[in-house]
């Protein structure tokens, strides 16, 4: 834990005067994850913010890593730039019955330094200056950064909860397809769809995806399907995981992103991939070869060994069951704390409505912070001892973007040990009792 705290200590926010103008697109103070982790460490809060698992890594995965680094020579050298042969072959086998076609492991898959590099490299490969990419907000915060650093323009549409009540499940968050259609212009090159969705946990239905597919087909758009949480779809989801590329006619226009980090709960390995039609994957690789050239060989070997084992066992089923149990426990903790959580059908996260905290939050002027969700998450960290992520970080910062939705919510991670989730419940309980006692004295 001390190592994690040292690693996540925030760097200086001062930039060189000689920095490239493109950095103006980025927040020089860093990501919201760095800020909230530093605040959690300072106040010794239970950190349910950043989505790295604290569950034990299964023995077969650790054994695979040991085996990979025990080789005397070749797994310590550069591997194939497009992807380590054993890993791309395993990925081709894994996806054969999910995409509806057998991927050529040598030409239709490229491995990357995590899914984040896959996002960045894909944008560099696809976008010319001024090209537009449609995002459904809230979104993973790397999307707009990668688009802008590639000379593109993010265009946002809302994935929104009901306006007359809190969302009860992630299925309550809806995309207005007319709004999506209206967002397409002659400059639109691509759109992102994230399934299961971070941070909402929405598992898209076939009907919803078919409507998105129809728009992509009509306007000849490339679809970037971020499906890193694909193995974490829960039993109460109204729809099983459907890969976007498996829809009729969509493989030819879809780049699918995946991640060993999310698949096996080893986010520090930073092994991701893009897969799709040969000509699109070749374009991605053209950038990848001059960006990182190749991904760390022994961990690609270990990822391949782990995936081969998982495909012959019930690992993914058991892992999803465990995460669902942890999700249910966190839902109970948040409900007992007076928040209104949205039940996610997949992924790592719970979005919770924090309207019940209104009477105890500092005002915007007192906190010198206009964003309500930042005030709420800072308050929960400093006063209640539990850290979450303010979701306005996953929205475009412009007038009207997302309305009041991000301000009312906080994102909590349940990819944590039950001990940590229970500790959060204890912190909430202590605060509640203390707050009631103070009110009684007044």
Residue where the block lists tokens 């992103």: 257
**DSSP codes, 418-440:** HHHHHHHHHHHHHHHHHHHHHHH
Q: Are 193 and 226 in contact (CB under 8 A)?
A: yes
CA–CA separation, 263 vs 57, rounded Å?
12
8 Å CB contact between 89 and 261: no
Read off the tokens for 281: 């994957």
Report the candidate in 33, 37, 46 with the shortest Cα–Cα distance to residue 199: 33
Q: How far is CA 280 from CA 53, 104, 276, 285, 299, in A?
A: 32, 13, 7, 9, 25
CA–CA gap between residue 91 and residue 95 (Å, rounded): 6
CA angle 424, 349, 226 (to 5 degrees): 155
CA-to-CA distance for 152 and 251, rounded, in angstroms? Answer: 23
Q: Quick check: 251 and 245 in contact, CB under 8 A?
A: yes
pLDDT tens for the chain, residues 1 to 442: 444 443 445 555 688 888 888 888 887 777 899 899 999 999 999 999 989 899 999 999 999 999 999 988 789 999 999 999 999 999 999 999 999 899 999 999 999 999 999 999 999 999 999 999 999 999 999 999 999 999 999 999 999 999 898 899 999 999 999 999 999 999 999 999 999 999 999 999 999 999 999 999 999 999 999 999 999 999 999 999 999 999 999 999 999 999 999 999 999 999 999 999 999 999 999 999 999 999 999 999 999 999 999 999 999 999 999 999 999 999 999 999 999 999 999 999 999 999 999 999 999 888 888 899 999 999 999 999 999 999 999 998 644 444 578 899 999 999 999 999 999 999 999 999 887 767 666 5
DSSP state of 169: B
- The burial class, CB within 10 Å (0-12 / 13-18 / 19+), for 284 is buried
Chain CA centroid to CA 179, Å = 24
């Amino acid at each position: 834990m001390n190592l994690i705290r040292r690693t996540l200590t925030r760097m200086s926010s001062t930039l060189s005067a000689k920095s490239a103008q493109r950095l103006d697109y980025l927040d020089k103070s860093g990501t919201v994850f760095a800020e909230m982790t530093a605040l959690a460490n300072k106040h010794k809060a239970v950190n349910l913010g950043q989505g790295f698992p604290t569950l034990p890594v299964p023995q077969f995965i650790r054994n695979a890593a040991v085996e990979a680094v025990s080789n005397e020579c070749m797994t310590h050298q550069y591997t194939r730039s497009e992807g380590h042969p054993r890993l791309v072959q395993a990925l081709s086998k894994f996806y054969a019955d999910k995409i509806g076609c057998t991927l050529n492991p040598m030409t239709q898959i490229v491995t990357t330094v995590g899914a984040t590099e896959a996002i960045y490299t894909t944008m560099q490969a696809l976008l010319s200056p001024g090209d537009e990419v449609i995002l459904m907000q809230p979104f993973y915060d790397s999307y707009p950064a990668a688009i802008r650093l590639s000379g593109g323009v993010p265009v946002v549409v809302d994935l929104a909860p009901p306006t007359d009540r809190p969302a009860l499940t992630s299925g309550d968050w809806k995309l207005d397809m007319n709004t999506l259609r209206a967002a397409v212009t002659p400059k639109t090159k691509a759109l992102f769809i994230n399934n299961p969705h971070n941070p909402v946990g929405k598992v898209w239905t076939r009907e919803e995806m078919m409507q998105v597919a129809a728009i992509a087909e009509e306007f000849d758009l490339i679809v970037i399907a971020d499906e890193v949480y694909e193995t974490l779809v829960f039993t109460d989801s109204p729809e099983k995981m459907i890969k976007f590329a498996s829809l009729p006619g969509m493989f030819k226009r879809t780049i699918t992103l995946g991640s060993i980090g999310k698949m096996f709960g080893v986010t520090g390995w930073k092994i991701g991939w893009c897969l799709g039609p040969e000509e699109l994957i070749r374009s991605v690789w053209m950038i990848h070869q001059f960006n990182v050239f190749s991904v760390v060989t022994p961990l690609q070997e270990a990822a391949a060994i782990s995936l081969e084992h998982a495909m012959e066992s019930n690992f993914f089923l058991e892992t999803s069951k465990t995460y669902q149990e942890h999700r249910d426990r966190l839902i109970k903790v948040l409900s007992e704390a007076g928040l209104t959580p949205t039940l996610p059908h997949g992924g790592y996260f719970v979005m919770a409505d924090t309207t019940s905290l209104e009477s105890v939050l500092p005002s915007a002027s007192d906190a010198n912070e206009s964003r309500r969700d930042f005030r709420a998450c800072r308050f929960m960290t400093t006063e209640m001892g539990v850290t979450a992520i303010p979701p306005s970080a996953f929205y475009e910062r412009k007038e009207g973007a997302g309305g009041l939705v991000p301000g009312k919510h906080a994102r909590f991670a349940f990819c944590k040990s039950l001990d940590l989730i229970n500790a959060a419940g204890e912190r909430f309980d202590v605060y509640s009792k203390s707050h009631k006692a103070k009110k009684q004295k007044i």
